[in-house]
A and B are shown apart, each in its own frame.
Chain A
Amino acid sequence: DADVTQTPRNRITKTGKRIMLECSQTKGHDRMYWYRQDPGLGLQLIYYSFDVKDINKGEISDGYSVSRQAQAKFSLSLESAIPNQTALYFCATSDSGGYGYTFGSGTRLTVV
């Protein structure tokens, strides 16, 4: 099994729908992250969590919410999807210093 597993791998949804992207990790790390990748913009941080009770907004959190269900699980929700949220989404986990990041394979989301 992969160290960081994201589901689904691909999703097409309609404008206005609520959608949840799920992430689980087996690294045993406390820190987890959600990033969005758009062509030419690199990775932008949406939300991050340094432990189960800690949730923080990143650079582009508007329109998104997260839930940290357990040390190993961190879900990203789009409450009402819009077309400009079409992107590749990555979940990651890291050690406490930030030197050992492990990324999932990504979820490609298309909002039509």
Chain B
Amino acid sequence: GDSVTQMEGPVTLSEEAFLTINCTYTATGYPSLFWYVQYPGEGLQLLLKATKADDKGSNKGFEATYRKETTSFHLEKGSVQVSDSAVYFCALLGGTSYGKLTFGQGTILTVHP
């Protein structure tokens, strides 16, 4: 079945540091890929998405490129802020999932001033 694996966490960075959170997936067919963010005390919000190979999703300074050859969708940001502290989830919508998202385990990001 479909699955998503995220890098081990948590991740702790200083403000203005470069961020990478790794995400790899297993799915049949051609899935769509997503990054969701969960701020403290809130539900999940869509951060960005990519629906086909080589697409780049971007939002709020975050980017991720859909790499079919490596089955990856790594999240990057060039300069993190304290306000980026949150839990980040990689997710996929696969060909066999009938519209149900499959989530990775989540990565806790803490950014210090």
Say yes or no: is A33 at the interface (Cβ < 8 Å to chain B): yes
Size category of the B interface is 20 to 34
Taking a contact as CB atoms closer than 8 A, the residue among B43, B98, B101 that contacts A106 in the complex is: B43
B93 contacts which chain A residues (CB < 8 A)? 98-99
* B106 lies within 8 A of A94 (CB): no
Q: How far is the CB of A8 from chain B (nearest CB, A)?
A: 14
A37 contacts which chain B residues (CB < 8 A)? 106
* B100 lies within 8 A of A42 (CB): no
CA distance A43 to B90 in the complex (A): 11
CA distance A31 to B99 in the complex (A): 9
Say yes or no: is B96 at the interface (Cβ < 8 Å to chain A): no
Say yes or no: is B105 at the interface (Cβ < 8 Å to chain A): yes
In B59-113, which residues have CB < 8 Å from any A CB?
Answer: 89, 93, 97-101, 103-106
Say yes or no: is B29 at the interface (Cβ < 8 Å to chain A): no
Taking a contact as CB atoms closer than 8 A, the residue among A45, A94, A97, A105 that contacts B42 in the complex is: A105
* A105 lies within 8 A of B43 (CB): yes
Say yes or no: is A48 at the interface (Cβ < 8 Å to chain B): yes
Q: Which chain B residue has the least Cβ–Cβ distance from A9?
A: B41
Most chain B beta carbons < 10 A, residue from A43, A48, A103:
A43
In B30-46, which residues have CB < 8 Å from any A CB?
Answer: 32, 36, 41-46
Taking a contact as CB atoms closer than 8 A, the residue among B41, B46, B99, B105 that contacts A42 in the complex is: B105
13 residue pairs from A and B, CB less than 8 Å apart: A31-B99, A37-B106, A41-B105, A42-B105, A43-B106, A94-B99, A99-B49, A103-B43, A103-B44, A105-B41, A105-B42, A106-B42, A106-B43
Interface residues of A (CB under 8 A from B): 4, 31, 33, 37, 40-43, 45, 48, 50, 58, 90, 92, 94, 96-99, 101, 103-106
Complex A-B, nearest 10 residue pairs according to Cβ-Cβ distance, in ascending order: A98-B99, A103-B43, A42-B105, A42-B103, A43-B103, A103-B44, A105-B43, A98-B93, A42-B106, A104-B43
